[in-house]
Amino acid sequence: MDKDLINKQLTARYKRLNKLTESIEKKLLILPEGKIRILRKHNTDYYYYVDKDSNDNGTIINSLNLPFAQGLAQRSYLQKVLRAANREQKLIEQFIKRFPSPSVEQVYQTLPEPRQKLITPIILPDDQYIKQWLDTPYIHKGFSEGDPYYETLNGERVRSKSEAQIADHLKAKGIPYKYEYPLMVGNKLFHPDFTILRVSDRTELYYEHLGKMGDRDYAAQNISKLNLYALNGFIQGDRLFTTMESADCPFDVRVLDRMIEKNFR
């Protein structure tokens, strides 16, 4: 995981905490001032109002005034959340400022080219890692005589117009992929439509496009397939992703766009 990704994730967390603290500060303005002390006697809870500037044990809150007690308890809770959020934000600020530069992934790239030629990097730069990943040879699933012919911009043969569209879209978005790369799922050999390299953490993701979901036999077969994926640790939304279409509901490339930006980068 490189510095840019860490910064991106921490910045997103920092912004989320900012929204949270702003929300809390607004809520505190309408909640009653003071503190609540809770005393339990004979399996009954008694609530006491304690003035914020007082050190006494407080005044008992009438059972009919439960909303007031709830407001005091809510104030105390929100104040604790606010303090925790502020502490976390300070730590994020310190971490980003003190994160080493260059990061371990960037050390090789900072070296002069003559020195790079003498070195075998222990962590490949992204471009070299992608090339090595893409150049790994594998045996394709293959086609039967009479199968329809569709070709991607990479010159690959695929099985449908939608798969060609997906492949070309991944290429246009700079997402490295392999078509029908073999994968053992339990004791069965699968060929996911696309094996995707998420470069930011160098994780392989698997993407299946289910193109005939209006066909009952096809749908049943693929539900079983997805269940087998899940039972062997390939959970949808984690490392497995799907899109679907039928004769009545064509493939919507906007769904792929969302997955690319949220999950594939």
CB-based contact 86:99 (threshold 8 Å): no
- Strand ranges inside 169-259, DSSP E: 177-179, 183-185, 188-190, 194-198, 203-210, 240-244
CB hemisphere CA count around 220 (13 angstroms): 3
Provide CB contacts within 8 A for 67, sequence distance 6+.
none
CATH of domain 126-264: 3.40.1350
Q: How far apart are the first and last CA of the chain?
A: 12
Helix or strand holding residue 21 (H, E)? helix 3-28
Q: What is the pLDDT of residue 103?
A: 79
pLDDT by residue, tens only, the chain of 265 residues: 566 778 888 999 999 999 999 999 999 999 999 999 999 998 999 999 998 776 777 899 987 899 999 999 999 999 999 999 999 999 999 998 888 778 787 888 899 999 999 998 888 888 889 999 999 999 988 899 999 999 999 999 999 999 999 999 999 999 999 999 999 999 999 999 999 999 988 999 999 999 999 999 999 999 999 999 999 999 999 999 999 999 999 999 999 999 999 999 9
Instruction: State the Cα torsion 213-214-217-221 to the nearest 10°.
Output: 10
Hey, what long-range contacts does 131-137 have (CB within 8 A, 24 or more apart)? Answer: 133/176, 133/197, 134/176, 134/178
Residue whose pair of structure tokens reads 């049943």 in the numeric block? 220
Separation CA 198–CA 204 (nearest Å): 6
**CA dihedral sign, ordered 209, 212, 215, 217:** negative
Separation CA 176–CA 50 (nearest Å): 62
Annotate 49-78 with three-state secondary structure: EECCCCCCCCEECCHHHHHHHHHHHHHHHH
**DSSP conformation letters of 147-185:** ---EE-TTS-EESSHHHHHHHHHHHHTT--EEES--EEE
